[in-house]
Structure 1
């Protein structure tokens, strides 16, 4: 569950592993051009409609769904919705669960199916706040293998599975500042919450009524377990996102960033 949650969170904010490596040898001018290109599709709707910065950001987030579905071929990044994971390890240490295991051939769906509750830029404070909502993020796998303790019950099992996060909320802030004249991301507090999950791990405890009982326990305990273990997960992915964002923003003034968001500089 921990590994799956990590993958979901990282996928929501884009491919933070591959892009920085691709751009290692870029000049500041090339990075600036890439940033303008990424935001360029907000140009017509934002400027002609005179909707302002917040609506431009909403348009960018809305269009980003297509990018997640199509991937980023120029960077060698495949489609991210659905997201395919060949193999991963499960390790959960919390007051409620001590679990070890692995999974194979997993597909995560609906990463791009988010609702934009709110996105707002405070220009004076150089801060963007966002609030996204997902009805569900659905995971299907050919095989899981797990062993450990949930609450006080020893559990084990292997087989195909389905696991969904329900009513997912992704909120956060992007706090920016100037470093040697360039706009940079200084901090990015992010939170991910879901009040419920659906779990169907076939073969738990040998199947039958015991499998149904343990799946229900997983559904009952999963939100609490995630809240206990999510801090280091979120911190790890935020670090990668901030590093990538700052490599893109290097050499860009705040006024230039605003121009790009509004589409004014998209053709430069």
Structure 2
């Protein structure tokens, strides 16, 4: 998800800034939103191959061979690893809202994912008042996922090598449904299903009832990462990223 957020935000700003360089403000304000939409639609296609020249791997699907995890909440604590992690659906989204206000330097957006899901093999050591080891396959999906918000940015003098900076990212996530199918949470099938129900409810509540916490985390974490990724690249460099290195 992190890679997708960085690419989407930077490409949107690049399209916006590219229009600013080429057209007067009054004329571009009516068309820049469609330019951003076209840019993101192009981004969907490039996500299959990624942007290796910028260190961004393929995102459709996103494959991670091995990932350690350390998770704790309340009396539950789990450590372990995920192997053969595959995330699907990052490029399968509809753009429901895209509105750029160049005078106020902000972009409002809304994306909808029918399903964003992952499959993996896992191994975990779980402490829930007693120790237990678990392993097996896992499938998790966020269905009817809506991502909306706005990006506030600033621009410097046209022609400078570093004239785009993200000031603030406001993000809101709403998941319509969560699907969990994790094997071997219990050796009893009926209890395993009940534990998956608990996982589904936990993820749903975490996303839908902690919107302010998540928004603050995204702004404080993703904003500086995006600005670091932009670095001292020129507008031409960023526009080249959109086309995968082409003009």
Q: Report TM bin, short chain.
A: 0.7 to 0.9
Instruction: State the shift of 1:209 in Å.
Output: 1.6
Which secondary structure state, in structure 2, belongs to the residue aligned with residue 204 of structure 1? coil
TM-score (normalised: structure 1): 0.68
- 2:219 counterpart of 1:240: no
Structure showing greater relative contact order (alpha-carbon pairs closer than 8 Å, 6 or more residues apart): 1
Q: Secondary structure at the match of 2:47?
A: helix
8 A Cα contact 1:204 1:211, kept in partner? yes
TM-score normalised over the length of structure 2: 0.73
**In 2, distance between residues paired with 1:107 and 1:233?**
24
Q: Is 1:174 the counterpart of 2:151 in the alignment?
A: yes
Is the Cα contact below 8 Å between 1:196 and 1:222 reproduced in 2? no
Q: Answer yes or no: is 1:219 the counterpart of 2:200.
A: yes
Once the 2 structures are TM-superposed, how far is the Cα of residue 157 of structure 1 from its aligned partner? 2.5
Q: Aligned-residue CA RMSD in angstroms?
A: 3.8
* Unaligned runs of at least 5 residues, structure 2: 23-28, 240-245
Q: Which of 28, 40, 44 matches 1:61?
A: 40
Distance 1:191-1:117 versus aligned 2 partners, 3 A rule: same
* C-alpha contact (below 8 Å) 1:157/1:206 kept by paired residues: no
**Does the 8 Å contact 1:144/1:161 carry over to 2?**
no
Q: For 2:126, which of 143, 147, 152 is the aligned residue?
A: 147
CA distance in 1, matches of 2:33, 2:235: 23
Aligned-pair distance for 1:238?
A: 3.1
What is the aligned length? 221
Secondary structure at the residue paired with 1:206?
Answer: coil
How much has 1:169 moved relative to structure 2?
1.7
Bigger helix fraction: 1
Aligned CA distance change for structure 1 residues 173 and 106 (closer, same or farther; 3 Å): same
2:91 to 82, 97, 112: 112
- SS of aligned partner of 2:103: coil
In the alignment, structure 1 residue 206 sits paired with structure 2 residue 206: no
Q: Which residue of 1 aligns with 2:104?
A: 125
Q: 1:221: Cα distance to partner? A: 1.6
Q: Is the 8 A contact 1:97 1:225 kept in 2?
A: no
The residue number in structure 1 matching 2:170 is 189
Matched, 1:81 2:74: no
Match of 2:242 in 1: none
- How big is the shift at 1:117? 0.8
Counterpart CA distance in 1 for 2:132 and 2:145 is 27
